[in-house]
Amino acid sequence: MDIVALSRLQFALTSMFHFIFVPLTLGLSILVASMETLYAAKEDEKYLRMTKFWGKLFLINFALGVVTGITMEFQFGMNWAEYSKYVGDIFGAPLAIEATVAFFLESTFLGLWIFSWKKVSKATHALFMWLVAFGTNLSALWILLANAWMQKPVGYVLRNGRAEMVDFSALVFNPYGWLKFLHTNTSGWVVAAFFIMGVSAYHILRKNELDFFKTSFKFGAVFGLIASLIVVIVGDSNGREVAKYQPVKFAAMESIWETQKGAPFNLVQIPSSEKEKNSVEAVKIPKMVSILATHNPDAEVKGLKDFPKEDRPPVLPTFLSFRLMVGLGFLFILQSIAAVYLVRKNNLEKNPLFLKIMLYSIPLPYIAAQLGWIVAEVGRQPWIVYGLMRTSDGVSKSVSLGQVWTSLILFTLFYGLLGIVDIYLLFKFGKKGPAPSNSVNFVG
């Protein structure tokens, strides 16, 4: 394995591990803020206990997410120095704003939220969590705008052998970035919704605090249905954006080898080689790929053969990840509809099989989110900045293979330990249930 492949592997492992924590933070902050708002409005102690219980799980996840995110930025200087030199003028700006504005906003108000129980009014305390939720999602916006520039570079000129920003507003209002933001954040909301429904299902199955966890389940069901519908709607728009600006990625997502009009959608297909050997196809939906690409059933879709081999991404992982992600997305809609229906009928306890399904479905939205990143990042190869800089040109020249191996092993061990700690703490406190009704201290 050469230094480029090893550096890519290290960044992939660290970023995918970091993104285990991010989605739950994005969604759970909104749900906790909603619960506390109801407490402030109704003064019903049930909502206070819900705020404290789910808030504690949010804090565990948030703390570990911060730690894993810091190491990712180190790699831009260690493993990807040439990339940083070439586009640091542009890429660094949104990351700096994220750190100095969004992260400070969420961390400051999270501290106020933790330490100001009974020291401010109920409404003010709820506002603190809404500002945490706003800062958390704003933080994701700036990071995703930076990533979107790598997918669709805008507002720059090539000068003095590097890319320099000439239009900051083009980066901020890059439509690719806003679609990516909406798609990524709402997928995080789905993660949080299914997390709450799964943990609540565990307790409902055991007849533990039924009113508390049935209400929590309702929060997750409604939020999950709304979020999963938005994910699909935004995903459709995002797909058209990919087809327009990254046609080779779109061709890999659909395993389209020949340019054709009215391209069909293959429900199951093992992507063929360029010579169409060893191809296995199943049911096709006529013209569906053309509809996905442009909303025109007769539109032409460029095939992979129209692009040079050296510019094509790995087809199999891109194709399979996209198929699995889409399939899971529609599964989440069906599960959320069923969840909302059973909540409305007050039939949750009478459906233990469904509750078990929701409990064991907790990992599925996490998997879907990771698959989405595989589509986005593997599908962009061989470019680190699409059409502008190849991944092989972005790796550091002064880093040795041994150094990358050493840092990869250390990161893997460190992150593995953090993963064990996170799962243990979430399992421990999630299984324990809410604090007693007379608990005043947040951490009590």
pLDDT digits (tens, 9 = 90+) for 369-383: 999 989 989 989 898
Give every CB contact of residue 314 below 8 A, 6+ residues apart in sequence.
252, 378, 381
In this predicted structure, the answer to whether residue 83 has a pLDDT above a threshold of 60 is yes
pLDDT of residue 330: 92
Taking 3-state DSSP, the helix, strand and coil percentages for the chain, each rounded to the nearest 5, stand at 75, 5, 20
Q: Which helix (H) or strand (E) holds 277?
A: none
pLDDT of residue 61: 84
In this predicted structure, the answer to whether residue 415 has a pLDDT above a threshold of 90 is no
Give every CB contact of residue 429 below 8 A, 6+ residues apart in sequence.
56, 57, 60
Ranges 47-61, 258-272, 400-414, most confident: 47-61
In this predicted structure, the answer to whether residue 29 has a pLDDT above a threshold of 50 is yes
- Burial label, 199 (beta-carbon count in 10 A; 0-12, 13-18, 19+): buried
In this predicted structure, the answer to whether residue 137 has a pLDDT above a threshold of 60 is yes
Provide the CA 378 distance to its chain's centre, in angstroms.
15
Q: Strand, helix or coil at 410?
A: helix
- What's the mean pLDDT in 255-276? 70
- pLDDT tens across 273-285, in order? 554 444 445 567 7
For the record, the structure tokens of 214 come out as 């049935």
In this predicted structure, the answer to whether residue 197 has a pLDDT above a threshold of 90 is yes
pLDDT-derived band of residue 412, with 50, 70 and 90 as boundaries?
Answer: confident
How many Cα atoms occupy the beta-carbon half-sphere of 1 within 13 Å?
Answer: 11
pLDDT of residue 357: 92
Contact between 131 and 113 (Cβ < 8 Å): no
Name the region of 380 (left: φ>0; alpha: ψ -120 to 50; beta: rest): alpha
pLDDT-derived band of residue 217, with 50, 70 and 90 as boundaries?
Answer: very high
pLDDT of residue 278: 43
pLDDT-derived band of residue 353, with 50, 70 and 90 as boundaries?
Answer: very high
Q: Which of 2-16, 189-203, 335-349 is predicted least confidently?
A: 2-16
- Burial label, 207 (beta-carbon count in 10 A; 0-12, 13-18, 19+): exposed
Q: Which residues pair with 281 in a beta bridge?
A: 269
For the record, the structure tokens of 391 come out as 């991944």
The CA-atom distances, in angstroms, between 166 and each of 89, 149, 169, 304, 387 are 10, 13, 9, 33, 18
- What's the mean pLDDT in 85-111? 83
- What's the mean pLDDT in 266-278? 56
- Written as one letter, the residue type at 433 is G
In 190-295, DSSP assigns E strands to 260-261, 265-266, 269-270, 280-281, 284-285
For the record, the structure tokens of 82 come out as 């040439």
pLDDT-derived band of residue 162, with 50, 70 and 90 as boundaries?
Answer: confident
